[in-house]
Amino acid sequence: MEEFLLSRQYFDLANTLIPGGVNSPVRACKSVGMTPVFIEKANGCYIHDVDGNSYIDYVGSWGPMILGHNNHEVKGAVQNALEHGTSFGAPTWREIELAEKIIEMVPSIEMVRLVSSGTEATMSAIRLARAFTGRDKIIKFDGCYHGHADSFLVKAGSGVATLGIPGSPGVPSGTAENTISIPFNDFNALEDVLNKEGGNIAAVIVEPVPANMGVVPPHEDFLPTLRQWTAERDILLIFDEVITGFRLAPGGAQEFFDVMPDLTCLGKIIGGGLPVGAYGGRRDIMEQIAPAGQVYQAGTLSGNPLATAAGITTLNVLSRPGIYDVLEEKAATMADVLSELATSNGIACIIQRAGSIMTCFFGHNKPVINFEAAMKSDTAMYARFYKEMLMSGIYLAPSQFEAAFISLAHGWDDLDATFEAAEEIFKKLGNQ
């Protein structure tokens, strides 16, 4: 591994111009005690930094790159779109095509609005739920992350958990008071809050498989129970599928678990690496959105021609037969082999997986079922593992509270190289 000389120089300069030197906190690598490598380019499952180092990439831009980087079909579609301009601020055919594709693939979506990020999708869905129900409060789950809108920065996951920020300064107490956060997978806590506050709750928003406290699969009855108990109280159920959408199955977690929410939020994969988010669901709810209805939401670059071209092509590739079987085989193998290597070297860790996303929780030997448990992870051990893997050419999320993402571009030889590196590192950590 070449010294990270240029990355360090760039980071020093970036820190004088951009808060923390990054445009999104988790990229700063603070929690793993490192400074970030600056990326020059990426291809397939490989990412290359400015100092000439190459890595097998398991971050995949935090989820969008399920086809791998620089996919030739996606690149071609964007290049074709580019020939005709970059943004018009007027409706285009591609927005219809992407809407049709989303509605075709995601079982519960009858109507959809495109935005430019996952945060825009979730904040709009919450506003819509409040307008539709006439109620103000929402329920989220500790450790789940739904983007950085005020309503969600209460016991949130991802960078909020990684950086140990207690919520976020700047969120008015009145806003935070309308957000109730309870433990994930906790039926009693859910029943208590619904019995106490049910009539004031507009919506429950949930990552159907939380991936922002690390990957924490739902208890098998949790999502069906959530669906039943919200429906009984006319509370809208919102699935935040920004990560799980098009990841766990063509129709996301709602197809995978066969549980249908009232609204779904999408992002990441839907843009194929370009900025696209979306929210959609029941037609009677979505028709409340302006200009059809009174609930206002807007965006200059919503449905952008380049981004929709990338998104349509990505979803078309994902619609081909056998794609998810390939992802499942590789991800299952990776989880099994890494788990075996850790155990045989005496490393206390548990690997939790849902489809082609997984997290290795260090310091555990039984399932991590919620945020309280996840926060007890051995984050120092994770930091050591992260650094050693990076030095071995394996690029992981710089936080215990994130996921590793497998793409269609990861070949068996790439997985073998990953296992070889991990075995050496587990041996080293086991002897410390």
Interface contacts to ligand KE4, rule CB under 6 A: 24, 26, 62, 117-119, 122, 145-147, 158-159, 207, 212, 240, 242-243, 267, 277, 402
Least distance to ligand KE4, CB of residue 273, Å: 12
CA distance 52 to 301: 34
268 labelled catalytic: yes
Q: Which of 30, 101, 137, 268 is catalytic?
A: 268
CA distance 356 to 118: 20
3-state class (DSSP) for residue 240: strand
Q: Is 120 exposed, middle or buried (0-12, 13-18, 19+ CB in 10 A)?
A: buried
CA distance 404 to 353: 9
Q: Which of 46, 55, 58, 145 is catalytic?
A: 145
Least distance to ligand KE4, CB of residue 120, Å: 7
Q: CB under 8 Å to 148, separation ≥6 — which residues?
A: 119, 168
Q: Which of 49, 57, 186, 240 is catalytic?
A: 240
* Residue placing its CB nearer to ligand KE4 in the complex, 109 or 341: 109
* Residue placing its CB nearer to ligand KE4 in the complex, 184 or 426: 184
240 labelled catalytic: yes
* Residue placing its CB nearer to ligand KE4 in the complex, 24 or 87: 24
Least distance to ligand KE4, CB of residue 229, Å: 22
Q: How many CB atoms lie within 10 A of CB 72?
A: 9
Are 119 and 148 contacting, i.e. CB atoms less than 8 angstroms apart? yes
Helix or strand holding residue 265 (H, E): strand 263-266
* Residue placing its CB nearer to ligand KE4 in the complex, 198 or 251: 251
324 labelled catalytic: no
Q: CB under 8 Å to 398, separation ≥6 — which residues?
A: 26, 27, 28, 29, 31, 32, 34, 36, 386
Q: Which residue is nearest to ligand KE4 (CB)?
A: 118
Least distance to ligand KE4, CB of residue 240, Å: 5
Least distance to ligand KE4, CB of residue 211, Å: 6
The tokens for 238 are 């919102």
* Residue placing its CB nearer to ligand KE4 in the complex, 272 or 277: 277
Least distance to ligand KE4, CB of residue 374, Å: 13
Are 249 and 318 contacting, i.e. CB atoms less than 8 angstroms apart? no
* Residue placing its CB nearer to ligand KE4 in the complex, 25 or 305: 25
Q: Which residues are catalytic?
A: 145, 240, 268
